[in-house]
A and B are shown apart, each in its own frame.
Chain A
Amino acid sequence: MKYAPLVWSALWHKPVEAVLTWLTVTVAFALFGLMLGVNATLQAYIDSAPEDILSVYPRFQSARLQVGMREAIERIDGVSATSVMFILNGYHTDPRNAVTVITVDNRGSEATPQFRLQPDHWQRLFSAPDGLYVSERAAARWNLRPGDTFIVNARRPGLRADGTSAFPFRVIDIVPDVPDSDGFLIGNFNYIDQARPPQSQGRDVMFQVLVSDASRALEVSRQIDRLFANSGTPTFSISQRHASQNMANSSGNRALATSIVGAAGLFMILLLIANGIAQSVRERAPQLAVLSAIGFQSRHVMGLILAEVAIPCLAGAILGTFLAWQLAGWPLKFLPGDFAYLPAPTISRSVLLWALAFAALLAVASAVVPLIRVRRMSVVNQLAGLAR
């Protein structure tokens, strides 16, 4: 603490430059935090997707999978449970308010553990045809409470046999969210299926398959696809982990892009800070010589210089990370609607810790040359210069 006044006066040796340095560091760490946040969020999105659950889609758009295919899938070695699903894509009140309801049949409780619904939840869902479970985030977005009616208008024409498009649901309960998801709504498959024209009932479905051993997911997916390869309904099966990976990587090589941008930002401040501290040490060399002359050890003087660099770096890292947190969701507003379920970057505690670690590293790297100069400085020459 006794050195605090010395550090403080060194920091404010040139106030305008000090403020500008701090602002530069803050801005650079805002960028760095954003890049780390994007990467960390997408990685969490991938990691949260289960590896042992396969989604089975039609291989071609015109191939309409049928409910009857489930029995054949269940006979495959390694399959624990299979659920039939129909994804209702629609909107609520205004076509711009896109909403997706995942409807599952009565085997959903076994093959969809990722929603973490309890057996009594499923029982209540299958006993109420128009029932709907809404996750907390989805409930907040649509302002829903248990008992509310929620009308979803199907986008697909001709989905209902009566020619209308509205599916009224009754909210059974609000359930916890799945980590790293943007919220979900779960309804009853039979409710949708029975409203469809007779010739379409039991068609256009997809399956969710629970694999007994996650390490066999690829093998089982190939078996499913092979089973239907030469049928009229060829399938495409993929584990949810890999589907998330594909989705997260669909916007290009994000790891490379974020690394380049983050590195460019850090390189910029490294140069700026190194230049600033070198100039500061040059200008204050006689002062530092006086400190040495009155008994300060070399390591104390070097510590003062390091503190002079580290304080704006660490303060900038903290404020910059806060700024990144504020800016994180902005680019997602421009994401095409069909990719809107990609999670917004979240600036977690680990991002802040990384930013602080890089700030410390940056401080050390930019202070290396001035520290060497101070170590080699001739106190006598500097004091002689001061005397002249």
Chain B
Amino acid sequence: MKPLVEMLVATRLSLMTLPQRMGSSLVIVVCMACVVGVLVSLLSVTVGLLQASEVAGSPSRAIVFSKDAYPGPGGRPEEASHISREALAVLEGAPYMARFADGKPVIEAEVLGILPPVEGFASGSLFIRGLGRNSLAMRPEFRITEGRLFRPGMHEVIVGRGAAKVFGLEVGDTIIMPDGEWPIVGSFSAGGSIMEAELVGDAPTVMSAVMRTTNFSSVLIGLDSPDSFDAFKSWLTSNPALSLTAERQSDYYRRVARRYSSFFTSVAYLVGMIMALGALFGSVKILHGSVDSRAREIAALRAIGYGGVAVAVSVILEAVALSVIGALIGAGIARVLFDGRWQAIFNAVFTLSISPQLVALGVAWAMLIAALGGLAPAIRSARLPVAEALRRS
């Protein structure tokens, strides 16, 4: 019990004398705010992208596409996939499918195309998805937020929240298609998923517009249970009449997102590591100076019987306390500036996300830097020669 009390008293004393070292303490706080603010801001890209992909997929839905689907730059396998109407007819009789109340199988063929920029040299491309009758019933997260749903057979589309924000599209605007201009009749949300980056219309109408007259991009299938996926895939891939493969929808979107997120994660950690190293050296320097300026106070504690460990721990705890304050400030600023902002990266549109877990990661990162940075000065404080330190003026 005694060492713990000593530690608490030494730490309290150390924190009480902080105002006397206001300048150097503030430097630690601001440095950590910079390190954590930058790290959290960069990681918000990865978190936002993964969250948007997570919401888009469900483990109880399977997405079927052709085995030879090779997407173009920034594309998805769905986009390069071709599923014929004959193959769709075979799929409609597949086992392990969930059923609607009227007994019909939960299955829908969809088409995904990519639209180039509206005008000559503008940047960014836009996905257009054609949905069938059952598609919306299979996506309970889908909501019309403005205007109305497209009508089957009509040349009209609705726009996702993300696409509207990033590409400046509004209800009432028109989209240039090969067969003329299509009006945007509504906008939708889809629970924050990456589908919100798309334009959506009626599948057969979109198919003819993007010149996919004979085949679909993918088929979405509702499984009777998430556990049925392996059996369904085995049935599908062993069927000699079909050259198709399937992936759990949740896995599919996760895989698509990870193609890009690993790059941003590596950038975030490279930058975070470099900044952390800078902050580490800075903290060691400041704490080293702090131990020097507190030499008499530390020696006095030691002289009245406080152990070296208690003093050393107090130095580390002081660094950790300052760093946590800095980390919270940095994460707070990053959250105010970036959380919820729409971002278009590699043809994916999503909102940046600074989640509580990300803030916790930032705080843990700062605590680790502080603990490492405080180690050498802490050892030095514990080994301070008492008599010599007391004689210092």
Contact = CB atoms under 8 A, between A and B. Distances in A.
A272 B282 contact: yes
A234 B178 contact: yes
Interface in B278-299: 278-279, 281-282, 284-286, 288-289
A10 interface: no
Interface string B198-218: 000000000000111000000
Contacts of B279: 268
A44 interface: no
A4 interface: no
A225 B275 contact: no
Given A24-B285, A61-B210, A237 B120 contact: yes
A12 interface: no
Contacts of A339: 73-74, 346
Interface in B119-153: 120-121, 123-124
Interface stretch (B37-45, B301-309, B383-391): B37-45
A229 interface: yes
Contacts of B27: 271-272, 275
Interface stretch (B7-15, B50-58, B263-271): B263-271
Interface core residue of A16, A21, A267 (most chain B CB under 10 Å): A16
Query: Interface on chain A toward B: helix, strand, loop, or mixed SS?
Result: helix
Contacts of A279: 24, 289
A234 B274 CA distance: 49
B278 A268 contact: yes
Nearest to A241: B121
A214 to B, nearest CB: 13
A158 B27 CA distance: 64
B114 interface: yes
B230 interface: no
Contacts of B124: 246
Interface string A199-225: 000000000000000000010011001
A79 to B, nearest CB: 15
Contact of A261 (B74, B120, B271, B347): B271
B34 A27 contact: no
Interface in A2-41: 16-17, 20-21, 23-24, 27-28, 30-31, 34
Interface in B51-99: 68, 70-75, 79-80
Nearest to B207: A62
Interface string B23-47: 1101100110011011001100100
A213 B390 CA distance: 82
B349 to A, nearest CB: 11
Contact of B285 (A17, A250, A265, A333): A17
Contacts of B288: 16-17, 20
A336 to B, nearest CB: 5
Contacts of A265: 34, 274-275, 278
A222 B119 CA distance: 8
A20 B37 contact: no
Interface in A145-183: 155-157
Contacts of B284: 20
Interface string B229-248: 00000000000000000000
Contact of B68 (A17, A157, A238, A239): A157
Nearest to B119: A222
A331 B263 contact: yes
Given A16-B288, A20-B284, A331-B267, A218 B45 contact: no
Contacts of B212: 62
Interface string B346-366: 110000000000000000000
Nearest to B68: A157
A169 B271 CA distance: 43
Given A28-B278, A31-B278, A250 B286 contact: no
Nearest to A235: B116
A27 B283 CA distance: 14
B345 interface: yes
Interface string A55-94: 0010111110000000000000000000000000100000
Contact of A260 (B41, B289, B345): B41
B275 A23 contact: no
Interface in A263-307: 264-265, 267-269, 271-272, 275-276, 278-279
Contacts of A252: 45, 343-345
A275 B267 contact: no
Contacts of A156: 70
Nearest to B352: A252
A61 B37 contact: no
Interface core residue of A24, A232, A242, A267 (most chain B CB under 10 Å): A24
Interface string A227-256: 001101010111100100110011110000
B285 A338 contact: no
Given A31-B275, A238-B120, A250 B282 contact: no
Contact of B266 (A60, A246, A331): A331
Nearest to A267: B34
Interface core residue of A20, A21, A269, A327 (most chain B CB under 10 Å): A20
B225 interface: no
Nearest to B113: A60
B30 A251 contact: no
Nearest to B348: A250
B259 interface: yes
B262 interface: yes
Contacts of B23: 275, 278
A225 B118 CA distance: 11
A264 B37 contact: yes
Contacts of A21: 285
Contacts of A232: 211
Contacts of B182: none
A59 B116 contact: yes
Given A63-B211, A246-B124, A336 B259 contact: yes
Contact of B123 (A230, A245, A272): A245
Interface in B135-192: 178-179
Interface of A: 16-17, 20-21, 23-24, 27-28, 30-31, 34, 57, 59-63, 89, 155-157, 218, 221-222, 225, 229-230, 232, 234, 236-239, 242, 245-246, 249-252, 257, 260-261, 264-265, 267-269, 271-272, 275-276, 278-279, 327, 330-331, 333-336, 338-339
15 contacts: A21-B285, A31-B274, A31-B275, A57-B116, A61-B210, A230-B178, A238-B121, A268-B30, A268-B282, A271-B31, A272-B282, A275-B23, A331-B270, A334-B266, A336-B260
The 7 closest A-B pairs by CB, nearest first: A20-B285, A62-B211, A27-B278, A338-B73, A334-B266, A236-B116, A24-B281
Given A252-B343, A268-B35, 8 more contacts: A59-B178, A62-B212, A229-B178, A239-B121, A269-B278, A279-B24, A333-B266, A338-B72
